[in-house]
Amino acid sequence: MKTTMSHKKMERISTWFKFIILLVFGALLIAPFVWMISVGFDKTANVTMPFPPKLIPEQISGFNYGIVFENGRLIQSYMNSAIVTVSSVLISVSASLMAGYAFSKGTFKGKKFLFILVLCTLMIPMEPRLIPLYKLFNSVDLLNTFWPLILPPIINGMLIFLCKQFFDQLPDTLREAAQIDGAGEFKIFFKVYFPLSGPIAATMVILAFIWSWNDFMWPLVVLNDQELHTVPLYLASFSLENGTSLGGLTMALATVSILPIVVVYLFLQRYIIQSIALSGVKGE
């Protein structure tokens, strides 16, 4: 009796111990964000950074935020990012749904070979493709437009793979029933399987959205015109121009730039975390 009591007590202590370690480490991970928000509200941080660091600035001021919005370039870059991301997500998710469906339910010559080809694309990094793609879009006069950012994501091996896996789990009997009713392949896809693809479509949208929104190297190469800069490009140029001066302004800018994603993340965290986990678990 006595030993089980002490055993329980030990367990409770270790639970609390783990909990506190998790809290402390979590606080360390979050600290840069807290500091960012605090400095962003400090007008004097543009001259000298507040030192020692304070949780709440001495003089709270919206000065930096005023400038960030007045400047207008951030809003512009937001619009650009939105156009690019929405279009590229739409294109890549629809193309991947179609391809994933064909690889799952289709019977045609060369299916296995073509699918292996798709998986091979997973191993091809952006760098070797950078210069030829640049030259390709240059030759059709599409540099400094959004097309180079919208079109190439149409092929995404990871999305096709996830999608095939999902359709593999749906029964073939649905197809057979529709076939008996005289439906063709397109009708079966759009009327039967597409409406069932909600969960995987949501996952794909989340993944494609994050990839497109955070893309940096390729936009940096194809968009020279400042007016067309996406959010990451604007941030990078601001950061390279000012270095570690203008602390308050930099932090206000960083806050405004990550706020929408953080808000979306907090609302959809369950689905976002699930999507990321799925891409990892299935990718094994």
Partner 1 sequence: MAKDSLDINVGPGAKSHANRDVQSIKQKKRKSQLTWYIFLIPSFLGILLFMAYPIFESLRLSFYQSNGTIENFTGLDNFKTVLTSGPFWNSVWNTFFIGIFQIIITIPLGFIFASLINSTPKGQNFFKVIYFLPNVTSIVAAAMIFAFVLHPEMGIVNYLLDAAGLPTPSWLSEPSTAKWGVILLAVWHWIGFVIIICLANLQAISPEMYEAAKIDGASGLQQWLFITIPNMAGTFAFLLITGWIGAMQRFNEVYVLGGPNGSPARSIQTMGAFIYERGFTGFEFGIASAATYIMFVIILIFTFLNLKISNMKL
Query: Which residue, 59 or 245, has its beta carbon nearer to partner 1?
Result: 245
User: In the bound complex, what is the minimum distance in angstroms from residue 178's beta carbon to partner 1?
Assistant: 13
Cα–Cα dist 284/281, whole Å = 6
Alpha helices (H) in 181-216, listed in sequence order: 185-187, 198-214
Token representation of residue 40? 């962003």
Q: Give the residue among 151, 149, 131 at the shortest CA–CA distance from 139.
A: 131
Cβ neighbours, 10 Å, residue 62: 13
Residue number, 63 or 77, with CB nearest to partner 1 = 77
**Looking at this protein, which amino acid is placed at residue 155?**
I
Least spacing, CB of residue 256 vs partner 1, in Å: 10
The span from the CA of 33 to the CA of 30, in Å, is 5
Closer to partner 1 at the Cβ: 83 or 261?
261
Whole-angstrom distance, CA of residue 83 vs CA of residue 275: 23
Structure tokens at 268: 């959809």
Q: Considering the complex, what minimum distance in angstroms separates the CB of residue 265 from partner 1?
A: 5
E-strand ranges in the chain read none
Pick between residue 26 and residue 66 the one whose CB is nearest to partner 1.
Answer: 26
d(CA 56, CA 78): 29
Least Å distance, CB 60 to partner 1, is: 19
Report how far residue 225's alpha carbon sits from residue 130's, in angstroms, rounded to the nearest whole number. Answer: 18
CB of 208 to partner 1, least distance (A): 13
Smallest separation, CB 158 to partner 1 (Å): 11
Nearer Cβ to partner 1, position 62 or 283?
283
Do 95 and 153 meet the contact criterion of CB atoms below 8 Å apart?
no
**Residue with Cβ nearer partner 1 (35 or 65):** 35
